[in-house]
Structure 1
């Protein structure tokens, strides 16, 4: 199964999801399409399995950083670290941007939940930063931040290096300004 996913990632990175075929994936994996169908009933299932793998990588990175205390960092530094980590995962997995777009644009029920786990982690981090923030607002902020970050990162990784860096910086700025009013510590005023 891992060999099939690796082959699917290679094929999708080269030709995109729409042009990838199960026959091309099976050929890249040096197996038959019949073997592929034993693990994945169709191309959509293969794409969703890749999406779960990629989002799982993001979850691992966020959870590890949560344990390292990222919620206590200055907000701009924490956001910068998270955005750059997501960019790096996308750069290391060239098929990710194609898979993300395909799954997010799918009418399949599970595709809407693609980013639920990262949203839960971000929601938890926001709660650690500002325990008094109402849960319903925190959930909305986490959803908005994660969806915006992923959409902008997907766009950024398709750009040449210089433009990618600029869009990454702008993504950090956007998210910082969005989250600062609620989640940046208030400086004590001098008397």
Structure 2
């Protein structure tokens, strides 16, 4: 009888351990970055550019590159594509959530399935339609790992919100790092 770990669990384990190590090694700057993000993200339109900067910071951190806090404010070059992608997802969620019965569940699944595409838009300036198609295709190719990552990242973020919102300062960067590590396993071939 073998005690070998199934490949899909090994992938999940690697993603979680890599994310945790990156988070642990950079907990100070990540907390400062998240504090700035949370304090400023309520400002209309600035929140889009900040989300671009926040995700790009974490992408570079996941790759092992040197990053600086100022990266948070460098998301303006991708403002319009990010805004359009987020707007289409928000409108889709709103419309689908009105369906009786399974509307909210269906809307949530569509938004979660489109999240990798949002990162592709930010990182590669991919157009929204191509990013959405790529997102659905990449999730279709690896549904188990994407499902575990999306659900666990959402749960981890929600867990942080339970502690008077202060837990988000810890869980937001960690949950996003977990998601980005999975994204980097599937980033578009042409990158």
Asked which structure has the greater CA Rg, the reply is 1
Which TM-score band applies after superposition, normalised by the shorter structure?
A: 0.3 to 0.5
Q: Under a length normalisation based on structure 2, what TM-score does the superposition of the two structures give?
A: 0.32
